[in-house]
Each structure stands twice: as C-alpha cells, then as structure tokens.
Structure 1
Amino acid sequence: MTKTTASEQNKTSLTDQSLRSEGDTNITPARTAWTNSIADQTTQKMLEEDSKVFLHQAMSTPCLDALVGAEGIYIEDAAGKKYMDFHGNNVHQLGYGHPHVVARIQQQLAELPFSPRRFTNQTAIDCAKKLTEIAGGDLNRVLFAPGGTSVIGMALKLARYVTGNYKVVSLWDSFHGASLDAISVGGEACFREGMGPLMAGVERIPPAVSYRGAFPAKDGSDVHYADYLEYVIEKEGGIGAFIAEGIRNTDVQVPSKAYWQRIRKICDKHNVMLIIDDIPNGMGRSGNWFTYQEFGIEPDILCIGKGLGGGVVPIAAMITKEKYNTASHVSLGHYTHEKSPIGCAAALATIEVIEQQNILAKVKSDEAYMYDRLEGMKLNYPLIGDVRGVGLLWGIELVTSRDNKERALKESEQVMYRCLELGMSFKVSQGNVLQLSPPLIIERDDLVRAMDIVEQAISEVQGQ
C-alpha cells in the first residue's frame, strides 16, 4: 500500500488546518491505518494501481476505497460492502442510477447523442426554459457548460463585461472550484498554495459564521458581516461583483435571511452584481430549488451544477437576467458541450423526478427530523459543540471543549472511520465538522438508521 513520505508528513504538520479545510485529508496517519486495514486483495490491487497511474493530489488520490457499484443511496466497494453515501460529491440528489434519469439519457442517446456548437436542439431549449421557470423572477437567460468551475469563470467574465469593473469581493473559506480563476476568488489557502500570482483584483471579507465567527456579535446576529462588503466596496472602488455560496456547503454555514437581504441592498446601492454559487446545494438540497430562495432574494447571476445532471452526466449552467444579455460578440463560454443533449436530458429528468415526487416538501419534512435528532444528540454528547443545517445539508461540529471550542481533529477522524466501518460514508470539513448530505430520495427509515450510526460512533469515541 502507498505510504506517506517524510516530506509529506512534514508538510502536513506545517499546514494541517489549511489541508483540512475543504474535506478530510488523505495523508493523515488515520487514513494510512484505514488503508492498511483493508484485507480484500482485489481492493488492495485496485488502490495500488490507482496510486501508480493517477497524479496524487489532496483529498483524492491516494483513494479511500475502490468501488464497483452505485445504486440508490448506496455505493458498493470491491469487497461487496455497501455504504449509505452522505457525501456523493454533491451530485447525488436523486441517488445513483435513478431509473427515470437513465431512461431519458438512453432515449436521448438513440435520438441525438451530440450537438455541435453553432447548432441548437430541442432538449437543450427545453432544459434552459425549465431552468428559468424554477429559478423564477427575472432569471431568464441561460448558458450551459460541462462543469461548475467553468460556470464560475463565465459568471466572472459576464460581470466584468456588464459593469466595466474587474474587481471581485468574495468570502474567506469559500470554495468556487479548482481552476485558476476559481481559486483566485475562492477563500481557501490550500488551493492557492504554490500557485504564484493569480487573478488580480480579488478582495475577501469574513463570512457570516454563527459558531466561531471572526467578529461575533453579543446578540448572536450576523447582519454586521454584510457591512464588511459595503466597507470594501466604498474603500476599494471599482468592484464589479460579489460572489458567494448562498449556504456554505462543506462545513455548513447558514447565514440569516437578514444578512442576505442586507447583501442584496448593498449590491443594488453600489451597482455590484451578486453572483450566487449554488453548484453544490442547488436542485433541492435546501428544500428549495435554489438556496437564495430560502432567503427571499434574487441574484444577478446564478451558478448551478453537480446534481443538475442527476448524478450521471456532468452539466452546469449559468442563469442570469435579460438586461445582462449584452455580450453577444464575446464568447463567455464557448464550450464543446455547450448545448449537450445528453446533459440536458439528464437535467430535465432530474427536475421531473423532483417535481413528480414532491421532493422539495419531503426535504423540508426531513429537515425537521434532522434538527430534532441532532439537537437531541448535542444535549447528550459534550463532544458536539454545534449542529447547524437546512433541508438535507447538516454539519456536526466536534470540539474537545465547549468552552474554548478547540477543534476535535482526532476524534472527528475516529468518528468518520467508525461510521465507514458501520456502513455509512460522509466527509469531514475544517478538520472537525461532520458534513452530512444524503440523497434527497432517502427514506425516513434509512435516515434514522444513518443517524443511529453517527450517534453510535460519537458515543464510542467520546467514551474512550
């Protein structure tokens, strides 16, 4: 099995918190112990081959396990073990291999598998129209792209063109993709490390964090974090856009409605375009089609992806307003799969399932269960410092002490690997936040069973 080198271990110790920001790192002693515990020879062989052929990178290769199947809420490894997947890279709103999505893709493959750029097709038109319908309001213009990071790039270009200003404000700790432009506006240092000069004109402000915010208010409110945006806009000048996740996905930060409405007013006052990155949380995870609908605002540009393709086909979209349809002589996207019939068929099928099965209402019902269950666990286990979430996106923050809020890094890894042993997969963000994002189609009995597994693992780790 692949071993962590001395240089890698030294680098990890120097930038430990940075490396843990986006997800659980794959170069800790706990990961090595997990890998070495795998007895299945087929799995060992696949992991060794993977490690030899793929370029190593944080949170990816070397890998956790080797999969041979994915269906419904489960992934299955080479040894035949199934895990309830509460991570899914945020593409699994409908779980895996949903029959309606697969059938629509198969039908589209038989009819029109590809549409070259400069040509349109009815499936792409129907998909774009449907997206403007569920977005509502003034969001009625669409561009497709192969992935979410590409959509972020398109949004930044459009904002520059419309406003004539190239400067952007974003949030510390934010994630908007891994391309150079996306890490330029992102707020996580681990993605910028060793990259040298990036896109100029990016200013970052503190995020509205309720539990361990940089500047907590005595009354627990978060609206004052919006004032940092106006401060920077007025001091810096030349700001064209503010980009942020409606709800921070990885460690699950849910700002207040008042915060977002204040942000919207500030952007309007200063003619700054508001770009909402809903790539991981869109398509129903909040119990709304998109998270901004939770807060009663509307962005100037909406970026979506991941689960848009039903967990099968990569597809993403930028949705904006008619008044910004002014860059007809500029190639904002110009992607080969610009109006992919296959991707659009998958997206339409995903929307159809959510509508026909009334998934949004189901998610709100699940939200109530998750809140009650996790608050109850918090009362019983001092290891839990905070729980927060919306819909079917929840974070459990583990601390060694509720008084000083010290991150329980070791304990969080122990809980995660114990849950893996018990048949449940999720990721750990910021080193100590158990991030739970199950498929939206999960049945209540399975959701209860998953929470039983989490509670068992926390109980065992706390009792050590």
Structure 2
Amino acid sequence: MTTFTDAPSSHFRSEGDINTTDAREQWNRGLQHARTDELLARDSQVFLHQAMSTPCLDALVGAKGIYIEDAQGKQYMDFHGNNVHQLGHGHPAVIDAIQTQLQQLPFAPRRFTHSTAIECAEKLTQICGGNLDRVLFAPGGTSVIGMALKLARHVTKNYKVVSLWDSFHGASLDAISVGGEACFREGMGPLMAGVERIPPAVSYRGALPSPDGSDVHYADYLEYVIEKEGGVGAFIAEAVRNTDVQVPSKAYWKRVREICDKYNVMLIIDDIPNGMGRCGEWFTYQAYDIEPDILCIGKGFGGGVVPIAAMVTQDKYNTAAKVSLGHYTHEKSPLGCAAALATINEIEQQALLPKVRQDAQFMQRELERMQQTYALIGDVRGIGLLWGVELVCDPITKQRAFDEAEAVLYQCLNNGLSFKVSQGNVIQLSPPLIITREQLTEALTLFENAIKKVSKDFNYV
C-alpha cells in the first residue's frame, strides 16, 4: 500500500505546508483525541493521497467568523482559509442570500439566464471598472484559467504563453502547463506546448538581483523572450504572488503592460487568491494602476461558501461566439451568483477596502518591528492583509530556515493560530478582512511569542 512517505522529497519544500516530516508526526501524536484520530484514520483510508494535502492536519467541526474549530472544540484564528475567507466563515449575509436563492431558483440549466446571474455580472464589471465589461462564470478558478488561455489563443491566433517560474495557476493539466512549480508537473509527461517561463520579480532572493534593488529588469526579460520566441499570445501572472507573497513594484507592472501592448500580447492577471479586497483594492491590478486584457477571479468570490469563479475581459474581445470557452454545467450557478453578489455588497457596506488599507499599515509596522528584533526574520513583505515573513538561518547567505518555520507553525497552532508555510520557510499571514484590530493584535502577539520561543530554542541572538 502506498504510504505518505513514498512522496518524492521535492514535494516537501514547495507551495504548501510540510506534511511528512517528524515535526508533523509529532503534531499528530500530540492530538490525543479519539474522535480526531478516528476521522484522520478514515480520511487516510478513503481519499487518494496527494502531496501537500495529506496527511491532514486536524479534523474540523465548525467554522465561523475568523475562527475554525476542531473536533476537540479548540478554536484557531484562521490566517490561511485557502484564500476564500475575505468575509470570514459563514457570513450571515452570504448564508441568507444562498437560502433565499434556494427557495426561488436553486439551479439554472445552460441556455437559460436569470436575474441573479445578470446582476452579479453587472456588479462585477462595475467594481472592475475601466474596459473590463464582459464576464463568464465557472465553477472554480482553475476552470477560468483554461477559459482565459483559450480566449487569448482565439483573439491573437498565437498559442504560445509566457508565465513565471514558481507561479501557481491551478492543478488541471492546462493550468500546470503554465504554472511554474515542478511538483505539479512531476511525472505528468507532455503538457501543453508553447509555454515559456521567465523569472519572477523577486526583491529578496531573486534570480537576477539588481544592485539598486529595483525589479524593472525582470519585465525587460519578458520582452527579450517575446522577441526571441515569436508567436506569443499571452503573458499570465498573479499581480502579487500569493503563496510566498512577492510584491513587485509599480514600475515593473507598468513596463509589463507596455511590453504586452507593443507586441499585441494579451495580459492575463490571475487574481484568484488575492481578489475581492485582500490588497485594499477590489483587485490587485488596481493597486498597480494598470488594466489586464483578461482578469481571472475565484476563491473568495463566493463568500467562502459556494465555489464560483469568473473571467472578466473587454468588449473588443467578445469575438468567440462560435467557440465554447467554458460551457460548464454550473456556468451561471444561481447559488454561486447569489453568494458572490452578497459578498460584493458586504465588502462595500462594511467599507472593508479602506479598513484593509489601515490594517496593512498596522501589520507592516508590527512585522517590521519584529524583523528588527529577531535575527530569524530575514524579510517582511506584503500588501493589504496579505503578508509574508521569510525566516532565514543567516541574514547574509539567506539560507532558508526550514525547521525553524515548522517550529513556529506548530507553536502557533498549539496556541490557536493557523496559517500557511510556503517554500518551506515563508510564513504567510492572510487573515479575514473582517478581523478586528483587537483580534489582529492578539494574533500578532501569538506569532511574535512563537518567533521568540523558536529563536531561543534554535540559539538565535
């Protein structure tokens, strides 16, 4: 029988948490709860094992607001949430909208429309602004990535795509073809042809560091590849890399937009994890004062309850009437559209965008103070309510502090704070947008206490 330890070691230090180490096994042994042990054992027996998802961390029985609750009744502040929890978990307005929709129109077959879908699409184009005024819905983010790639081929008549190393755009075959993480492609054989990858604009440990710390030259590399390769139809990227939180400069994105315009390359922005307010704007491209040709959103779009995603593009690209770009069974899901519409309305009514911008200043101040205090913290970077804290063994060599990051993770879990570890050493902190300042302060105190303890345990000065 296949065991978890059969996974290649390359999966250990990748996009997700580290699930197969001695520290994880020690965590599992420490749960010591009959119901939890039973659920974890049954899960292991019935689900296919896969990297980064198994073995499971714990068994949940509840999720409300900023908290998730396990089978023992322990609550964790959820600073991960798979990026669906902009409104927290089980927001009353979202639940009410779904329940009302269930009574009226629970499902709409293809070829039919309904007012909820139309209102949702209209509202989405309103918050996108600019020229983004055409929409297609789909059941999930990976699906809209595929739709975007198909539309770019149709419009440009060029099938080649440029993407970034270390990027993630979903787990389907077309999405991993343009993704930049090898762990998703390992053993998969031939994938979608015509994909060229370039280094991402990384300020702390970039592949092409600049003496003055600028990152515009990473965009110049895009132009170099487009010129050399020829036949490029699209450049796809997250405006801000979500998992290990890479935040390029405005100059970088301005240059990217200029290059795409110059060579008639469609710019696809994947805002699936970061959209719906996490950066302090509705979408991250708005923080950079650019506009994509195609925008892909998902995850938090459905309020953390119903899976729904959307591709948004410009009217001038409404040229594929004879091509089935999506054609999904739940293409205009009444429940998904009701949840999405309620989510947009709540973010507006609660004025969460300016709140996020204020919270960002607080988080930056507190995390940078910690960086000055603890040698273990090599870099702090973020935007809005998305922050990465990179732990290093040495500030000069920037050697990744894998074991220390794990120790911080489990120390925080023990004290009721859950988050994601990316690349094996980057603590990603992405709380719900509804979090209060008191709750945010409490979470950062728990985090700092863990950093302090691990620094002492590992003999950092």
1:276 matches 2:269: yes
Match of 1:61, as an amino acid?
T
Contact 1:43 1:65 in 2 (8 A): yes
TM-superposed CA distance for 1:37, in Å, is 1.1
Match of 1:197, as an amino acid?
P
1:58 matches 2:55: no
Contact 1:207 1:225 in 2 (8 A): yes
- 2:104 maps to 111
SS at match of 2:346: helix
Contact 1:3 1:32 in 2 (8 A): no
Query: Cα deviations across residues 79-118 of structure 1 (Å, max 9, x unaligned)?
Result: 0000000000000000000000000000000000000000
Contact 1:50 1:61 in 2 (8 A): no
**Candidates 414, 430, 436, aligned match of 1:421:** 414
TM-score with structure 2 length normalisation? 0.98
Matched-pair identity in %: 73
SS at match of 1:292: helix
Query: Cα deviations across residues 41-95 of structure 1 (Å, max 9, x unaligned)?
Result: 0000000000000000111122000000000000000000000000000000000
1:369 matches 2:362: yes
SS at match of 2:305: coil
- 2:345 maps to 352
Query: Cα deviations across residues 13-61 of structure 1 (Å, max 9, x unaligned)?
Result: xx2xx54221112111111111111111000000000000000011112
Contact 2:12 2:20 in 1 (8 A): no
1:152-167 correspondence to structure 2 within 5 Å: 152-167=145-160
Distance 2:56 2:289 in 1: 40
**Candidates 218, 223, 233, aligned match of 1:230:** 223
**Candidates 134, 141, 152, aligned match of 2:134:** 141
- 1:320 maps to 313
Distance 1:312 1:456 in 2: 33
1:52-451 correspondence to structure 2 within 5 Å: 52-451=45-444
TM-score with structure 1 length normalisation? 0.97
Match of 1:298, as an amino acid?
E
Contact 2:16 2:421 in 1 (8 A): yes
Distance 2:108 2:453 in 1: 54
Distance 1:408 1:316 in 2: 36
Match of 2:236, as an amino acid?
I
Q: Report how many residues are paired.
A: 456
Distance 1:110 1:132 in 2: 27
Query: Cα deviations across residues 243-286 of structure 1 (Å, max 9, x unaligned)?
Result: 00010000000000000000000000000000000000000000
TM-superposed CA distance for 1:4, in Å, is 4.5
Contact 2:4 2:55 in 1 (8 A): no
SS at match of 1:251: coil
Distance 2:183 2:230 in 1: 28
SS at match of 2:31: coil
Contact 2:177 2:191 in 1 (8 A): yes
SS at match of 1:240: strand
Distance 1:218 1:421 in 2: 42
Distance 1:403 1:163 in 2: 46
Distance 1:264 1:30 in 2: 44
After superposition, the Cα gap between the structure-2 partners of 1:45 and 1:331, relative to the gap in structure 1 and judged at 3 Å, is same
Contact 1:54 1:61 in 2 (8 A): no
TM-superposed CA distance for 1:455, in Å, is 0.3
Match of 1:285, as an amino acid?
R
SS at match of 1:426: strand
**Candidates 450, 457, 460, aligned match of 2:453:** 460
**Structure 1 unaligned residues grouped into runs of 5+:** none
SS at match of 1:125: helix
Alpha carbon RMSD of aligned pairs, Å?
Answer: 0.9
Match of 1:70, as an amino acid?
A
Query: Cα deviations across residues 122-167 of structure 1 (Å, max 9, x unaligned)?
Result: 0000000000000000000000000000000000000000000000
Distance 1:334 1:365 in 2: 41
Distance 1:273 1:4 in 2: 41
After superposition, the Cα gap between the structure-2 partners of 1:273 and 1:449, relative to the gap in structure 1 and judged at 3 Å, is same
